[in-house]
Amino acid sequence: MSESKAVRTIGVIGGGSAGYLAALTLRAHLPDTEISLLESSSIPVIGVGEATTSEFPPFLYKVLGFDIEDFYRKVRPTYKLGIRFNWGGTDEDHFFNYSFDTGTAAESQEYDGHIRRSTLESVLMTEHRHLVVRSGSRPPFSLEALYPFGYHIDNKRFLAYLHETARARDITHVDCTVAEVEQGDDGLVTSVVDTEGRRHRFDFFIDCTGFKSLLLEKTMGSEFLSYGSTLFTDSALFGTAGHDGTIKPYTRAQTMDNGWAWTIPMRDEDHHGYVYSSAFVSDEDAEAEFRRVYPGLGPVRKVRFRSGRHDEFVKGNVAAIGNSYGFVEPLESTGLFVICRQSLLLAMALAESGGRLTPKTTEAVNGAISDTWDFIRWFLSVHYRFNTRRDTEFWRACRRDTDISGVEKLVARFGELGALTYSTSDLSVGGTVNFGAFGHDVLLFGQQVPHQRTGARESREVYERRAAGYDQLAEDALSQADALRFLEEHPEILREPVVNESSWMAKFMGSVIDICEEALRTGHSKDTTMAERNQQS
């Protein structure tokens, strides 16, 4: 876009999580810019549970400045310590935990034959416990300032909260349906026209129109780059069912015949989904299997999707956030993570450039976001290529045909030397530890990928001493239902992870800001691209 014209007005086209988070992030960084959000009230909100990564709470409180007590009271989230993968076998005991904290996967595999005691949060997940602990006669105390966590949130309550906050922060809300996009002779978007014939003009446009990608793809012509050779699924069913009162501290991912199913635990019910490939099963048979596995399901909804991203994140005076830029299935709960990262990077770029995105800055932002998405693609590929379930055509095809070219050298290195945590440079994407070397170790050890050695460096004695401490803490920890009640009664403890400047939230968000600043300088989500990392390994 033109270097001479500063961005004074921004139009966010489309609502949902992407639209509101984008608008609120821009407002936090651009206090003097006019920001409008255009969305249609005729499009219903899908009340589905959403799972997040551990980047989400720090983003809410450290970037957007939300009040944790207010958020807790109105959105009523439940806590997530990680993902339980019932991944491969049909036996309920066949699982591994992918927790948000890091630990010693190699030692756990070496001495226990599995990785369930590799971190404290993994042990808590196994025992269905939270980070609030009662020891002896002492009152309960919380470890939430020390150990990372994410949320499970109800989409309807979350969007209502975002809507309320956006209005309070001087973001103009326009209820309309966009029917047309207009461009000038220079190819830049000049305005959008709604179904009432009203013309809405802005200097810069944020495309949050979902899979339609009305501005970025259909108007600006950004090419869609498919991940279809890696990710075979293209459909999802979702619905809710009651639970027995146990609010599990994790998202569950369970292997199904033609894909996998999620369980997101809320306070009064579980939200379930089945992600599958229509090339291997009909919608009717997929729903029948879905209901067979979760017999208490109510009405279910269906969505079709395509996996991949667009060539540009910013093109001209348009940026696309959320599904309008790219989509991958929610196997690692990356949806809100990427929305937050896209919003933050764009807002920082506009703020640092005085509202003028130069070609160099645009190139840097595009490179950083494409790196992030491609990294996630290859990370997800490991889940499919090495899943040990071989009893259906779908999973046999995944093991045979999944493209893992972006990580195959890392996998080869794991097979030879064991734990990547000890044998490679940092692999985290954008400062997100859970997608780094330890995360790859969890997936490879957890799926029992063949390796010549574990690479363990710690003695059995040292490992057992620490793991015994984890076991004791888990024994003393409260269930999530009890922990939620305790935190409601003690708001000063609820606030501790946010107000304590030594907490993991403060350190984590500082790291993310540093990574975004580096990305604006170099054009990559880390110091090297994914391809360069593989060459180094």
Contact 36, 166 (CB under 8 A): no
Vertex 376, ends 372 and 378: CA angle to 5°?
120
**Residue with more model confidence, 281 or 533:** 281
Q: Taking residues 412-436, what's their average pLDDT?
A: 77
**Residue with more model confidence, 93 or 218:** 218
Q: In 3D, which of 257, 246, 261 has the Cα closest to residue 294?
A: 261
pLDDT digit string (tens) for 482-497?
999 999 999 999 999 9
Task: Report CA torsion sign: 242, 246, 250, 252.
Answer: negative
526 confidence band (pLDDT: 50, 70, 90): low
Instruction: Determine how β-strand 224-226 pairs with β-strand 34-39.
Output: unpaired
Give the tokens for residue 357: 């995105």
Q: In 3D, which of 443, 434, 450 has the Cα closest to residue 407?
A: 443
pLDDT digit string (tens) for 327-364?
999 999 999 999 999 999 999 999 999 888 999 999 99
Q: Taking residues 424-430, what's their average pLDDT?
A: 60
pLDDT of residue 434: 64
The alpha helices in 43-92, defined as continuous H runs, are: 56-58, 68-75
47 confidence band (pLDDT: 50, 70, 90): low
User: Percentage of residues in the chain with pLDDT exceeding 70?
Assistant: 93
pLDDT of residue 523: 77
Spans of all domains in the chain: 9-469+497-536
222 confidence band (pLDDT: 50, 70, 90): very high
What long-range pairs does 288-291 form, CB within 8 A, spacing at least 24? 289/256, 289/257, 289/258, 290/237, 290/239, 290/256, 290/261
The continuous run of DSSP H or E covering 326 comes out as strand 326-327
* Res 537 pLDDT > 90: no
pLDDT, averaged across the chain: 92
Q: Taking residues 412-421, what's their average pLDDT?
A: 94
* Res 105 pLDDT > 50: yes
Give the tokens for residue 127: 């025992």
Q: Phi first, then psi: give them for residue 55, nearest 5 degrees.
A: -80, -20
pLDDT digit string (tens) for 138-163?
889 999 999 999 999 999 999 999 99
- Name the residue type at position 496: E
pLDDT of residue 139: 86
- 437-446 vs 359-385: helix axis angle to the nearest 10? 20
pLDDT of residue 42: 85
**CA 148/CA 439 separation, integer angstroms:** 14
DSSP code per residue over 207-250: E--GGG-TTTTTTT-PPEEE-TTT----EEEEEEEE-SS---SS
Distances (CA, A) of 488 to 65, 138, 159, 165: 20, 19, 22, 22
The CA radius of gyration of the chain, in Å to the nearest whole number, is 23
User: Which fold would CATH assign to domain 9-469+497-536?
Assistant: FAD/NAD(P)-binding domain (3.50.50)
* Res 4 pLDDT > 80: no
pLDDT of residue 515: 87
* Res 529 pLDDT > 70: no
Collect all residues with Cβ–Cβ distance below 8 Å to 140 and sequence separation of at least 6.
132, 133, 134, 478, 486
- Name the residue type at position 120: L
pLDDT of residue 136: 81
Task: Report CA torsion sign: 27, 31, 37, 41.
Answer: positive
Give the tokens for residue 299: 């009405």
* Res 45 pLDDT > 90: no
pLDDT digit string (tens) for 453-477?
999 999 999 999 999 999 999 999 9
532 confidence band (pLDDT: 50, 70, 90): very low
pLDDT of residue 1: 47
**CA 305/CA 323 separation, integer angstroms:** 10
CB atoms within 10 A of CB 31: 11
**Residue with more model confidence, 515 or 52:** 52
pLDDT of residue 432: 55
* Res 535 pLDDT > 50: no
